[in-house]
A and B are shown apart, each in its own frame.
Chain A
Amino acid sequence: MVGSSVGSAVVVDDEPLICGIIAEILEAAGWAVTQAQDALSAITAVKKTSASLVVADIDLGIGPTGIDVVQRARAENPSIGVVFITNLADPRITGKGWNTIPNDASYIVKTEISSTTALRAAVTEALDVRTAGARPLVSQTATHSLSNTQIGVLKLVSEGLTNDEIASSRATTVRAVERLLSRMMIASNIAPGPSARVQLARLYWDQLNGR
């Protein structure tokens, strides 16, 4: 396989089964794959194999995340292709360093891993400079029209915070929070009314649950 490989790839996921499935798909596509179950092993593998592709689970449990792995790998090789895998259709709702995810990274939901085609497409997009970044990370989700700031506020609404508390936590005014919520309702097609806040909270939880 190595002799005919299209390049070296490192797959990092704390679940060995997932790791193995992805590796299998990539190897079938001609990649020489190194599997890692934690961030430190992944970086060691990236350095050792001069990998040109890293496929990383965002959440690796306690310790550095997949985002950290990619950031660290890009310090070694700025042009390394990146595919993130996660459970969430819109990973911004986890609030875990989403802003630091590189724009040219591809992104695939774990349920899509069942489809060989989806992973291959994500890898191709991650490596193709002409289309890199073209794959919309949060398309086809109910929250895709919300900005990162609005996603952050949505999380606070879902946690039951009042406008006062949200304003306090964001060091802004209640009026600014009200305007923000109003724009979020318009963007999410939620009609203003007594149940609007509940619907916003439901929007968040539905996304978290993948409904």
Chain B
Amino acid sequence: MVAKPDQQQNLLRPRDFVDVLGTGWPFRAVTIVPYAAVTLLPTTGSELGRLSVQSLPAAFGVASFSVSVVVGLVFLVRLILPATWRRNSTIVAGALIVAGALRGTIVSTVMDAIGLEENSHLASRIFLGALSLPPVLALISLVVSRVVTAREKSVSTRSEISATEQKRDRILGEVDASDERLREEVEETLRPAISALIDDIHSERSARSTLADKIDAFANDVVRPLSHTLATAGSAFAEKRRPAILDVALPTRPAFREQINATYSGLVVFLGSGTVLLDLFPLANGFVAALISGLSVFGIIRLLSAIVGGRQFPFAVAGIIIAGTHAVAWIPPHLINQAMIYPADLQFRPWLISSIAMPLVGLFYQLVIVGEYSNRTSLARLDDARIEMLIQLSEARRRAWLRQRHPTHTLHSTVQSRVHAEARLVRSGSGKISSAERDHAINVVTSALNVVTAEPEESADAVMAIRQLVDFWSGMCTITLDVGPGVGESAAADDDFSRALQIVSLEMISNAIRHGHATEIAITIERSSPEIMMVVAANNGTPVSTSYRAGLGIALYDELAVHWSLTNGERVTTTAALAAREIVPTVRAI
């Protein structure tokens, strides 16, 4: 429930580009429209080079037609492919390759028919169309899906935080109101009743039996109802905390290798140079030159990742390195192609295009990563706030429960019993009531007031108390206790946690023995996060029906734990997460 997700694992990975094809996102209008918008200008540039007359409006018109065709084909694929096939990345990628090739065929056929081109560019259009549609649509799908999902999660998380905050404030408000009621009860009922009874005790006219009856009446008519009032009252000691959203940890900055991707840099170079080179050279020569370019860039980026991939740079520094690397990565393949593929009299200057386009390619990748990181940061911030709010809610509930439990139990059990016992002592005596008896009776009666107004004593050492439980059940049930580092320190520093740990551990042991007849229990107490201490009790008792948990301390776990669970496996395991903030050591200046 409050487990923090791994904030780095959700950054873009190469595999995500493939997997997203099987998610249905490529066929949604919310993806296809941005795809059309993003590809319109590059397509215009590409078509401009192919036209026999270099006209920008004509190129734009052809590009618009080309993009319309591909959009239509994507929708057609969506119609044709059965739903189960659309969830298979390989089938979708194959269908998109076919659709891209069809796009090139359709556009080239139309261009040939209307005579806008001197030479046919069918091969380059099929090549570019077939190989660019799956990765570009995957990229757009990935970005769109992440943005939409992040927005939805953000809305729901904010809503959850708000609801939790309201719940916390309502509990604290009720606690305050109950405290006020309690104070009124004490002033209007308890104090007057005690005063009247003390007067009666002092009065030497009262017969023993009459006084004993009055003391009994005090227990029945004042102490017991007051304990009931307390059962629904809380404490004024629960403080309102600041909004959690202001106090959160951000995810760590991604490593350099997570901001750069050799596969996609190589693929983009292969596709980008391919679409130009196929128009300039014979098919085989153009393809080999594009392949050399793509593979070389892939190798150079991989080499860079291997050298500095694990380091974390500020985004600006990483951006400069990425752009700079891409800016020079075109040189080796260019030299190879010049030696092996390019004719000596080549007029076209690919190095000029490369030196402008390549840094942009690198920066584009980083832009996607930075956008994703920004999304993740925002969600992590919200998620931390959500967790913090749940912890605060748990702390408020726990404190309210513990603070009311102490006086309730003491009044209901101890004081009431003590007062009745005092009545019996008074009744069983003989002769006149001595002054020592009067003083004793007054002490007992006024103890009710002390219970309500006094601060609860500090809890005993929780770990020691649990060890005593181990001794208590020894011979009937073997209990092993594994206490992680820092548990004792946390219990010593946080009295509420200490009490909760003691009560929850006791409940786990008692339930295992009472209901499960366990003979072996293994208890582990260890920190699972800076805010949470996990208590896990695994026993060899009979499985517990998960559909019926009455009598298993469900209300107690609800009040004291952030969350809890009960599972029946090889062993019956109860797990409770208790709020316990890690102690940060402070260094004192001497």
Q: Which of B216, B225, B510 has the most CB of A within 10 A?
A: B510
A63 contacts B by Cβ under 8 Å: yes
Q: Which residues of A come within 8 Å of B, CB atoms?
A: 13-15, 17-18, 21, 39-40, 43, 57, 59, 61-65, 67-68, 71-72, 75-76, 87, 95, 97-100, 110-111, 113-114, 152, 169-171, 205, 208-210
Q: Which of B330-338, B363-371, B544-552, B576-584 contacts A (4 or more CB under 8 A)?
A: B544-552
Set of chain B residues within 8 Å of A64, measured between Cβ atoms: 469, 472, 506, 510
11 more CB-based (< 8 A) A-B contacts, given A57-B417, A97-B510 = A13-B417, A15-B418, A57-B413, A62-B465, A62-B499, A64-B506, A111-B220, A113-B424, A208-B228, A209-B225, A210-B224
Q: CB distance A171 to B548 under 8 Å?
A: yes
B177 contacts A by Cβ under 8 Å: no
Q: CB distance B550 to A152 under 8 Å?
A: yes
Shortest Cβ distance from B472 into A: residue? A40
- Among B409, B469, B550, the residue within 8 A (CB) of A169 is B550
Q: CB distance B551 to A18 under 8 Å?
A: no
Q: CB distance A15 to B413 under 8 Å?
A: yes
Set of chain B residues within 8 Å of A87, measured between Cβ atoms: 224, 412-413, 416-417
Chain A's interface: helix, strand, loop or mixed, by majority?
helix
Set of chain B residues within 8 Å of A14, measured between Cβ atoms: 413-414
| Contacts A97-B514, A99-B551, A100-B514; A17 near B224 (Cβ below 8 A) | no
B421 contacts A by Cβ under 8 Å: yes
Give the docked Cα–Cα distance between A95 and B472 (Å): 23
Shortest Cβ distance from B231 into A: residue? A208
Set of chain B residues within 8 Å of A72, measured between Cβ atoms: 472-473, 476
Give the docked Cα–Cα distance between A169 and B549 (Å): 8
B458 contacts A by Cβ under 8 Å: no
Q: CB distance A15 to B414 under 8 Å?
A: yes
Set of chain B residues within 8 Å of A209, measured between Cβ atoms: 224-225, 228
Give the docked Cα–Cα distance between A99 and B473 (Å): 19
Give the docked Cα–Cα distance between A114 and B515 (Å): 35
Give the docked Cα–Cα distance between A67 and B506 (Å): 13
Shortest Cβ distance from B409 into A: residue? A61
Give the docked Cα–Cα distance between A9 and B414 (Å): 22
Set of chain A residues within 8 Å of B550, measured between Cβ atoms: 95, 152, 169-170
Closest chain B CB from A154 CB (angstroms): 12
B423 contacts A by Cβ under 8 Å: yes
Closest chain A CB from B408 CB (angstroms): 11
- Among B418, B465, B513, the residue within 8 A (CB) of A63 is B465
Q: Which B452-504 residues sit within 8 Å CB-CB of chain A?
A: 459, 465, 468-469, 471-473, 475-476, 499, 502-503
Shortest Cβ distance from A38 into B: residue? B468
